[in-house]
Amino acid sequence: MVEFLYGIEVVINGLMAGVMYSLVALGFVLIFKASGIFNYAQGVMALFAAMTLVGVQEGQVPFAHLINSVFGTQYHHFGWHINAFVAIAVAALVMLLFAYLVERYILKHLVNQEPIILFMATIGLAYFMEGFGDLMWGSNIKTLDVGIPQGGNFWIEEKTAFLGGEDFYGFYLDTLDIYATVIAIILVSTLVLFSQYTKTGRALRAVADDHQAALSVGISLRRIWVIVWSIAGIVALVAGIMWGSKSGVQFSLSLIALKALPVLMLGGFTSIPGAIIGGLIIGIGEKLFEFLIGAPFLGGATENWFAYMLALLFLVFRPQGLFGEKIIERV
């Protein structure tokens, strides 16, 4: 009985982890859907957004090392500490500016290029952003605190402890994960509403369906790209906040993209619901596998392996992913 209850706990925590993976995968899907670009820089965007948020919140002088090295000054902080909401708004504005600059200086010059060229461009962008972020905000580990509580939820633990005997301590749920789930639901709902019921949303869907047709009815591809990269930037900011709250903001945050890849392979690169369902399946699957087989029989640390194995299986039997559009090419 206790093992069964702990199994349920693992499933619930797997769901929560899946939501965190979906948050990252969403950014990939948005850009791929609208422009056919696999954005290698999505993880670095999350890192850069979180670094900007902490930098603004803590009143850090951007490029302080560079300024001090060149001018021999000692500027590090403005001396303020800004409210988290204001800092999030400023970081969001920076991500909008980032989207504009990406379109203006990279994508604009690559219209009609092969997808592989666009992919290569995003690799370059990722490395540029890594260095630029370090130069702007420094590479030290930053503590991110936007007021979201963290740690095991006492209330849930106490209220569920009666389900098992002495060896059951109640269900463990991290409060941060609960917040992340609520925020993800709001984010996805907003995206769906925006996509279904606004003129810009319809334009986005039109571009996603057929670039040429969308262009022929007067939709500006460049404008759509700025919008879509802006939304992906905001999604990256949300992912950066959630993951950064757990580990501090540091380079490793950019590696969360690795957790999104199997989600995308499973859910499909073109489906927002696919990113969510894919994330949940990967989250539950890897945690359950680790609980039932990985830890007891294989020595543990099987999660990454399992996630990619599951994704590989889906690729073999359904290459477009669970919700992806089937690619049919006639010769």
Partner 1 sequence: MNIKRMMMATAVAVSVATPALAELVIPSLVYRTGAYGPNGIPYADGYADYFALLNERDGGIGGEMVNLIECETAYNTEKGVECFEATKDLGSLVYQPLSTGITYQLIPKATAADIPILSMGYGRTSAANGKVFSHIFNFPGNYWSAASAVINHILDQENGDIKGKKIALVYHNSAYGREPIRTLEELAKKHEFELSLLPVDHPGQEQKSQWLQIRREKPDYITMWGWGVMNQVAIQEAANIRYPMEKFIGVWWSGSENDVIPAGMKADGYKALAMHNTGMDYPLYDDLKTYLYDTGKASGEHAGTVLYSRGMYAGMLAAEGIKTAQKMTGKSNITAGDLRDGFEVLEITEEKMAAIGMPNFGPSFKVSCESHGGPMVTAIQQWDAKNKTWSLITPFNPGDMDVINRLIAEDSAAYAAENNLSERCG
Which spans of this chain sit near partner 1 (rule: CB under 8 A)? 6, 9-10, 13, 16-17, 20, 65-66, 69, 72, 130, 134-135, 138-141, 143, 145, 150-152, 169, 172, 174, 243, 246-248, 250-253, 255-256, 259, 286-287, 290-291, 294-295, 299-301, 303-304
Q: Integer distance in angstroms from the first to the last C-alpha of the chain?
A: 58
Query: C-beta of 325: minimal distance to partner 1 in Å?
Result: 30
Query: C-beta of 250: minimal distance to partner 1 in Å?
Result: 5
Query: C-beta of 159: minimal distance to partner 1 in Å?
Result: 17
Nearer to partner 1, 69 or 220 (CB): 69
Nearer to partner 1, 147 or 151 (CB): 151
Query: C-beta of 74: minimal distance to partner 1 in Å?
Result: 10
Query: C-beta of 79: minimal distance to partner 1 in Å?
Result: 19
* Residue type at 60 in one-letter notation: Q
Query: C-beta of 155: minimal distance to partner 1 in Å?
Result: 14
Buried b (16+ CB within 10 A) or exposed e, 133-147: bbebbbeeebebebe
**CA-to-CA distance for 265 and 315, rounded, in angstroms?**
7
**CA-to-CA distance for 135 and 231, rounded, in angstroms?**
25
Nearer to partner 1, 14 or 321 (CB): 14
- Give yes or no for a contact between 270 and 32, defined as CB atoms under 8 angstroms apart: yes
Nearer to partner 1, 172 or 194 (CB): 172
**CA-to-CA distance for 291 and 269, rounded, in angstroms?**
29
* Residue type at 59 in one-letter notation: G
State the chain's maximal CA–CA distance in angstroms: 68
Nearer to partner 1, 34 or 263 (CB): 263
- Give yes or no for a contact between 145 and 245, defined as CB atoms under 8 angstroms apart: yes
**CA-to-CA distance for 48 and 32, rounded, in angstroms?**
20
**Both structure tokens of 325:** 């559009």
Nearer to partner 1, 110 or 123 (CB): 123
